[in-house]
Amino acid sequence: MSELVRCEVDGAVATIRVDRPPVNALNVELQDGLRAAAAECTARDDIRAVVLYGGEKVFVAGADVKEFHVMSAQDMQRRGAALTDSLDAIAQIPKPVIAAVTGYALGGGCELALTADFRISADTAKWGQPEILLGLIPGAGGTQRLPRLIGPAKAKDLIYTGRFVDAAEALAIGLVDAVVEADQVYPTALAMARKFAAGPALALRAAKAAIDNGLDLDLANGLRLEAHLFAGIFATEDKQRGIASFIANGPGKADFVGN
């Protein structure tokens, strides 16, 4: 794995730590590191939830514009798919993923945060898709994930203007799920991840697949996907544990094992 991205595991929670000072710009090596970290988190059964974190000062301030400066259209055609794939690898982790965002989440950084299931933002954080100010458009999921999350009109506002959004507005438009003081961002995300890690891993995996994949289907096919995944959960040990615990003790008291 790249030195710019570390996968740090504590109990059942992994932290994918982006570490490329000063602003964690998404260069080619960092993109490759994200892909490797995603593969590890996906493959390891002992990892049951993931926190995506850029450190105390900044999440990811965007792509490495210096790399863009020397790239032709042909270069980007060859490399653009790899950029998208590196972020999509995070989105495809079949476990709960929480982005813990401090400082800046701009351009590719915002797109990276959008790959997570939830976003915890520092009250001082800035969000945005400023690519238009460079004569570009978002190229790693911003034109697709952002409107799916906050709606097309709000997404067009951010993408067309390139303006920065503070944490309060990000919360108001649904871009983030919680706003806390900067020194509480990582602990808050970690606490959320630990709660998910104690849950039924296969049911959580199925729920994520049903929601994420169902959004790309019409309602009828989405319902078929849900029914298929729902039936499959009946083969799990955690289903037996959950129902037995509910009958004996009421809801919320089951001890899940992840099988």
Residues annotated as part of the active site: 111, 131
DSSP 118-169: EEEEETT-EEE-GGGGGT----SSHHHHHHHHH-HHHHHHHHHH---EEHHH
DSSP per position, the chain: --TTEEEEEETTEEEEEE--TTTT-B-HHHHHHHHHHHHHHHH-TT--EEEEE--SS-SB--B-HHHHHT--HHHHHHHHHHHHHHHHHHHT-SS-EEEEE-SEEETHHHHHHHTSSEEEEETT-EEE-GGGGGT----SSHHHHHHHHH-HHHHHHHHHH---EEHHHHHHTTS-SEEE-GGGHHHHHHHHHHHHHTS-HHHHHHHHHHHHHHTTS-HHHHHHHHHHHHHHHTTSHHHHHHHHHHHHH-TT-------
Phi, psi of 62 (to 5 degrees): 135, -170
Other CB atoms closer than 10 Å to residue 251's CB: what's the count?
8
CA distance 51 to 197: 11
